[in-house]
Structure 1
Amino acid sequence: MPLGEDGPSWKKRAQDIREIYEFRETLGTGAFSEVVLAEEKTSRKLVAIKCIAKKALEGKETSLENEIAVLHKIKHPNIVALDDIYESGGHLYLIMQLVSGGELFDRIVEKGFYTERDASQLIRQILDAVQYLHDMGIVHRDLKPENLLYYSPDLDSKIMISDFGLSKIEGSGSVMSTACGTPGYVAPEVLAQKPYSKAVDCWSIGVIAYILLCGYPPFYDENDAKLFEQILRAEYEFDSPYWDDISESAKDFIQHLMEKDPSQRFTCEQALQHPWIAGDTALDKNIHQSVSEQIKKNFAKSKWKQAFNATAVVRHMRKLQLGTSQEGPGQTTPTSPCDLLEAGASNGSDSGGCDRSLGPSSHRLPQD
């Protein structure tokens, strides 16, 4: 059914979204979308609104409807919720749950103490969420640290998978656009352009676990072709001295997830039963210094705009808590980002889903 006609019951009509929400600031931009921090005028609840220009979606309407219908059904404590969908003449607005605890790497670097057990607890939450998706027949396809945000600033905050499925909506599921976005997390079978399954997510979780324990990616080369070769052959090592203090159980866990053959790779269910997750083999030794040093060197903030700027949310929440917000109750963004989007969609600014902002700008060797 074409967008703009009477659609499914979960979609609401809105002539002007700003009659319902007060736009605060832009949190990020994608190929043909913009994420805006907004406040619902009646409840004063803060949300993240993903504005999608319809002009950029011509020919993709049916698949978009299907994707959003699936997203609307997803309810899991570790997955950012899609609360509402509004439609106007020129845009779709996805009203997303706002998470305010900041990015995974930032939190690790800020900590004074960080252990294998901390990493194990993070990975367990991710596995639980992805198993939920897999049980629903959904493959995420774009798991990476940049998509992992803390729910709140609390020290014991849960981790959340953010922007779930929206990458698929934006057409970045193809091999080409995945490769130009974040090649370091892509499973070998995806790069090989073979049919793939839920196992691709399990590979990505293995890569995330690897990084959480050493602070640098398992595959690194300035040359993309050589990087792809490493991934295709599943060539990675537990380099000394960075892995000297990491348990053999942790390494075994990673090897089962970063298994080249997807049929032999651990499923989420198997990974959740591994002793490093379900048992007590994750060590309590403080590895903060070495891991945080590597994160700072290998995952410096990209000069490109992040697809979702979690830091902007944290900054805004702190302003609210301090009572120093400069914005009055009736103020709105002078020019709506969504207005700019529509202009961009009509002048061909859609980059085809290839957004290099979605990951580290390069993959380097571990830094001394």
Structure 2
Amino acid sequence: MDTTVNPNSTLEGQSQEDIPLTQKSSQFSQSLRSIHIRSIVAQDWFSVQKEREVYAVLYPMAQGLHHIELSTPLFGFGRNPKLSEAYNFTSLSDHHLRSSISGRHCHIERDALGITYLHDTSRFGTFINEKLVGKDSPCRLLNGDLISLCDPKFYAFIYVETKVSNDEFPAELSNEYLVSNLVIGKGAMSKVYIGKKRTNTSIAVAIKVIPKKHEIVGSNEEKRSTSEAIKREVQIMLSVKHPNCVRLEQLYESDSMAYIVMEYIEGGELYKRIIANENKGNGLGEEVTKFYAWQIFSALDYLHKNGIVHRDIKPENVLLLTKDTFTVAKLTDFGLSCMKDHSLTTFCGTQCYMAPEVWTNESYDSKVDIWSFGAVIFSSLSGYPPFSESYEDLKLKDQIVRGRLIYYKVWKHISTTAREFVRLCLKVDVKNRLSAEQALSHEWFNDPIAEKAKRVVQSYAD
């Protein structure tokens, strides 16, 4: 209880004139102290109000999490965080993941200078933009940082400061989407960020950012600006409606940049699965390869029948929906795609996956995609590419135009039917090469695994 003193008050029965000077001095000092106390109380009140002001919001990236307004100097996370202001993850739908979260997993601290730090106190780790913070090691949090718990790929929250605007992106985009600082992909000229819709909890998106003022030179027959290429990519993606092709959501533009918002595919690239350490350099094997191959041929059959040639099929452009093995596979990156309403002669694509007719500057058609995906299947079955600059006996172009294939001992574990199927996809003579429709009818897909792929895709599409 605060004590206040009236400087004009007197002892009972005494006038001001009757009070000794020393007593008057004492009362005056007491009055000054009272004023000082009231001043401190007021300062503390304003300080508390300032502390309670929301300085940042954590937007959820996972199912079952809630958005959190940060307004206190300390905020804890964990199953038993033991802080007055904390989040305990009781609503997290992934119960296995929740059991991996430590009792006192991490906490966020806001210092007197307005700088925010994340402190990791967990057993299995806390990550900022997929980088491990390190136990008992504070790491500064910046506007747009992505926080993960236990697994760098388990995105829990995007940290967004209330008084910091993201001028890097157009206002129209920022009003609809939150863009994180995490770059999940890079191209020759583009970057892909992970973000989320503001209005949908845990709906992640991929945002591809492309500079517009460049010229792409393909050959003497085809020169175009990136602006034209972007418009073509968007036009094609808007026309594509297939469960095994990545879906476009929105396009935003500034004077110098284009921003393509697409569905986010969390399972990553097929390439990374093929080279994963657990495969010991032997690829994915026949069963898993067939499961993905049926899906991509289904996409190619759809594209080709709708007059679209992809022209840049490679393991990096096949994305997997989830981290599960038997998941939906999707084609992405339609940046080099085109409508086959005219003769195609442009030298483009990724060289070790380019068909012979592209190397020899002949006109070509949709079967260039069959060759490219045949090379992907070869790599997935065996763990090594069919054609490579590292093979020193022949130049890459000669390997491809001759259709020279090297079979190492891993192929002893691959069925004769699978080997024959790959050879039919990698026929140098286009007339003898399979179409996508013929590939789907091949006996290699007359198999329970192909039926399983159909069911998984159908369930996803529904």
Q: TM-score, normalised by structure 2?
A: 0.52
Equivalent in the alignment of 1:69: 235
Equivalent in the alignment of 1:226: 395
Q: Distance in 1 between matches of 2:184 and 2:448?
A: 39
Equivalent in the alignment of 1:186: 354
* Offset at residue 21 of structure 1 (A): 2.0
Equivalent in the alignment of 1:92: 258
For 1:210, give the aligned amino acid: F
- The question of whether the paired residues in 2 share the 8 Å contact of 1:79 and 1:162 is answered with yes
* Offset at residue 120 of structure 1 (A): 1.3
Q: Distance in 2 between matches of 1:124 and 1:237?
A: 24
* Offset at residue 49 of structure 1 (A): 0.8
Q: Distance in 2 between matches of 1:258 and 1:75?
A: 28
Whose strand fraction is larger, Structure 1's or Structure 2's? 2
Q: What SS is found at the alignment partner of 1:28?
A: strand
Q: Distance in 2 between matches of 1:50 and 1:230?
A: 34
How far does the alpha carbon of each residue in 1:153-200 deviate from its partner, in whole angstroms, 9 at most, with x for none? Answer: 23431111122x12459xxx942x53xxx3211110011111110010
CA RMSD of aligned residues (A): 2.8
2:176 counterpart of 1:20: yes
Which one of the candidate residues 249, 269, 276 is aligned to 2:417?
Answer: 249
Equivalent in the alignment of 1:48: 206
Q: What SS is found at the alignment partner of 1:79?
A: coil
Q: What SS is found at the alignment partner of 2:430?
A: coil
Which one of the candidate residues 186, 192, 217 is aligned to 1:29?
Answer: 186
How far does the alpha carbon of each residue in 1:235-260 deviate from its partner, in whole angstroms, 9 at most, with x for none? Answer: 11333x22112111111101111000
Equivalent in the alignment of 1:286: none
* Offset at residue 88 of structure 1 (A): 2.8
Q: Distance in 2 between matches of 1:273 and 1:20?
A: 44
Q: What SS is found at the alignment partner of 2:387?
A: coil
Q: Distance in 2 between matches of 1:142 and 1:110?
A: 26
For 2:331, give the aligned amino acid: I
Q: Distance in 1 between matches of 2:319 and 2:369?
A: 18
For structure 1, the 5+ residue unaligned runs are: 1-12, 283-368
* Offset at residue 151 of structure 1 (A): 0.4
Structural mapping, 1:107-256, within 5 Å = 107=273, 109=276, 115-163=285-333, 165-168=334-337, 174-175=346-347, 178=349, 182-222=350-390, 226-239=395-408, 241-256=409-424
Q: What SS is found at the alignment partner of 1:213?
A: helix
- The question of whether the paired residues in 1 share the 8 Å contact of 2:212 and 2:226 is answered with no
Q: TM-score, normalised by structure 1?
A: 0.64
For 1:203, give the aligned amino acid: W
* Offset at residue 27 of structure 1 (A): 2.1
The verdict on how the C-alpha distance between 1:221 and 1:111 changes in structure 2, with shifts beyond 3 A counting, is closer
How far does the alpha carbon of each residue in 1:117-146 deviate from its partner, in whole angstroms, 9 at most, with x for none? Answer: 221121111100111110110001111111
Which one of the candidate residues 277, 281, 288 is aligned to 2:445?
Answer: 277
How far does the alpha carbon of each residue in 1:7-57 deviate from its partner, in whole angstroms, 9 at most, with x for none? Answer: xxxxxx954532332221222333332211112222242111112223236
Q: Distance in 1 between matches of 2:194 and 2:375?
A: 30
* Offset at residue 100 of structure 1 (A): 0.3
Whose helix fraction is larger, Structure 1's or Structure 2's? 1
Deviates more, 1:182-191 or 1:36-45: 36-45
- The question of whether the paired residues in 2 share the 8 Å contact of 1:247 and 1:281 is answered with no
Q: What SS is found at the alignment partner of 1:243?
A: helix
- The question of whether the paired residues in 1 share the 8 Å contact of 2:213 and 2:226 is answered with no
Q: Distance in 1 between matches of 2:374 and 2:363?
A: 20
Equivalenced residue count is: 261
- The question of whether the paired residues in 2 share the 8 Å contact of 1:49 and 1:94 is answered with yes
The verdict on how the C-alpha distance between 1:54 and 1:219 changes in structure 2, with shifts beyond 3 A counting, is closer
